[in-house]
């Protein structure tokens, strides 16, 4: 508060001026909010003047001023965790998590929209090179911060978000089969400020007051341009990436002669009647996801006949180009050799 005497005033006039700031609240816990005095609040300031004439108290004079607190609309959308969401090819209901915060001084609804990048650099530095499918938005209905199918409800808006509160929102989508490790799909969640006029329905989009301050409750947009947003438009967004972590399998098939009818096992040749061993080596590249339930199917060539005396062995190893027979058995049915390897880790 300060007192000012204007330089042009006469000695019979005095001006008492005061300046005050609308109360703002702040909390020590992270994140900190400061919505401030509630929009629509009527603020009245009164002054009392006592004076004397000739040493005698005169009648008291009062005056007051009243104004309405305007609405400051401020919202932020942030990615929860600030990490890319790791997915596997063909994964369904893959979840990215966002927080929508109302930092306004009034309750609001928020219209929600999910969109995908079309190339370019995704949120965590990789190049966006595919789209997820079946994209949906869910509200964290039970407010536990985790996506719970059957409990959390699909929605297109957040209803009645109070000042200085946040809501968790999920984008849930399916990942196409056939994507490779480090493929990335960028997704964006946008929130648009709307009037919180009725519970259970989305209000009209908030508009900013134009022109001079009015006697009623005006609206001022205060959202910022952080994260590539446009400042003061009543809309805010954040992005996350679905990043693929896939297995990278290769198969190599080799053969060697074990014996023939003339030479036996000493320098055998691949003549009619020879016994031939086929080896199928399956490798998973370093840095890949583990491959599980690897099913191998191999047609026996028409020029050969399966020899059950040697059998089919699984889970062996390779020494150079030579197969070391494994401990498990495969099967032979109707001309097809098959077997399943339970897991092949990265680099194995």
Across the range 33-37, mean pLDDT stands at 67
For residue 18, what pLDDT band results from cuts at 50, 70 and 90? low
Query: Would you list the DSSP string of 269-307?
Result: ---TT-EEEEEEEEEE-TTSPPEEEEEEEEEPPTT----
Per-residue tokens: 180: 């490779």
Q: Name which of 219, 114, 129 is nearest 170 in CA terms.
A: 114
What's the pLDDT tens digit per position in 284-306? 999 999 999 999 999 999 999 99
Q: Which two tokens stand for residue 9?
A: 């005033």
Residue among 235, 303, 233, 241 nearest 272 (CA): 303
Q: CA Rg, the chain, in Å?
A: 37
Would you say 181 and 119 are in contact if contact means Cβ atoms under 8 Å apart?
Answer: no
3-state secondary structure 148-168: CCCCCCECCEEEEECCCEEEE
Task: List all residues 6 or more positions away from 121 whose beta carbon is below 8 Å from its beta carbon.
Answer: 127, 128
Nearest Cα to Cα of residue 165 among 27, 28, 69, 33: 33
Coil, strand or helix at 90:
coil
Mean pLDDT calculated for residue range 1-18: 41
Integer CA distances (angstroms), 40 to 45, 128, 199, 228, 312, in order: 16, 45, 19, 31, 81
Residue 87 · residue 126 · CB < 8 Å = no
> Collapsing DSSP states into helix, strand and coil, what is residue 115?
strand
pLDDT digit string, tens, across residues 134-175: 999 999 999 999 999 999 999 999 999 999 999 999 999 999
Pairing of β 322-324 and β 235-244: unpaired
Q: Is the pLDDT of residue 22 over 70?
A: no
Cβ-contact 338, 297 below 8 angstroms = yes
pTM for the model: 0.79
Question: Residue 259: its pLDDT value, please?
Answer: 95
The model's pLDDT over 262-289, given as tens digits with 9 standing for 90+, comes to 999 999 999 999 999 999 999 999 999 9
| 190 Cβ contact list (under 8 Å, min separation 6) | 77, 112, 113, 114, 115, 235, 236, 237
Which among 283, 260, 258 is positioned nearest to 271, based on CA atoms? 260
β-strand partners of 187: 116, 240
Q: Extract the runs of DSSP E, i.e. beta strands, from 177-231.
A: 184-195, 219-221
What confidence tens digit (pLDDT) does each residue in 49-98 have? 999 999 999 999 999 999 999 999 999 999 998 899 999 999 999 999 99
Taken as a whole, the chain contains a residue count of 348
Find the mean pLDDT for residues 6-17: 42
User: CA-to-CA distance for 246 and 263, rounded, in angstroms?
Assistant: 47
Peptide linkage before 31 cis (omega within 30 of 0): yes
Sorting pLDDT into bands at 50, 70 and 90, what band is 10? very low
pLDDT band at 11 (very low <50, low <70, confident <90, very high): very low
Cβ atoms < 10 Å from Cβ of 38: 15
Q: What secondary structure letter does DSSP report for 230?
A: P
d(C-alpha 238, C-alpha 191), whole Å: 9
Q: How far apart, in whole angstroms, are the C-alpha atoms of residue 63 and residue 42? A: 16
């Amino acid at each position: 508060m300060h007192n000012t005497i204007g330089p042009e005033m006469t000695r019979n006039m005095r001006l008492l001026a005061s300046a005050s700031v609308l109360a703002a609240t702040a909390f020590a816990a992270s994140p900190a909010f400061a919505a401030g005095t509630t929009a629509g609040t009527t603020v009245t300031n009164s002054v009392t003047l006592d004076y004397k004439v000739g040493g005698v108290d005169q009648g008291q004079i009062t005056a007051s001023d009243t104004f309405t607190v305007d609405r400051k609309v401020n919202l932020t959308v942030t990615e929860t965790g600030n990490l890319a969401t790791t997915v596997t090819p063909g994964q369904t209901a893959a979840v990215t998590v966002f927080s929508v915060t109302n930092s306004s001084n009034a309750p609001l609804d928020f219209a929600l929209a999910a969109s995908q990048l079309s190339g370019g650099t995704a949120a965590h530095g990789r190049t966006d090179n595919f789209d997820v499918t079946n994209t949906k938005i869910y509200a964290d209905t039970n407010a536990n911060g985790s996506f719970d199918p059957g409990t959390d409800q699909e929605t297109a808006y957040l209803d009645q978000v109070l000042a200085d509160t946040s809501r968790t929102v999920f984008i849930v989508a399916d990942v196409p089969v056939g994507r490779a490790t480090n493929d990335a799909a960028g997704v964006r969640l946008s929130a648009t400020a709307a009037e919180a006029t009725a519970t259970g329905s989305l209000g009209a989009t908030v508009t900013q007051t134009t022109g001079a301050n009015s006697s009623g409750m005006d609206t001022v947009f205060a959202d910022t341009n952080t994260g590539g947003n446009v400042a003061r438009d009543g809309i805010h967004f954040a992005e996350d990436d679905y990043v693929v972590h896939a297995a990278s399998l290769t198969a190599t098939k080799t053969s060697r002669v074990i014996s023939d009818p003339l030479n036996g096992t000493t320098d055998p040749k691949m003549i009619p009647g020879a016994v031939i061993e086929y080896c199928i080596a399956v490798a998973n590249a370093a840095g890949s996801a583990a491959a599980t339930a690897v099913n191998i199917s191999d047609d026996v060539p028409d020029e050969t006949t399966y020899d059950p005396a040697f059998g089919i062995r699984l889970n062996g190893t390779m020494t150079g180009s030579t197969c070391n027979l494994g401990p498990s058995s495969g099967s032979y049915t109707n001309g097809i050799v098959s077997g399943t390897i339970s897991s092949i880790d990265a680099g194995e």
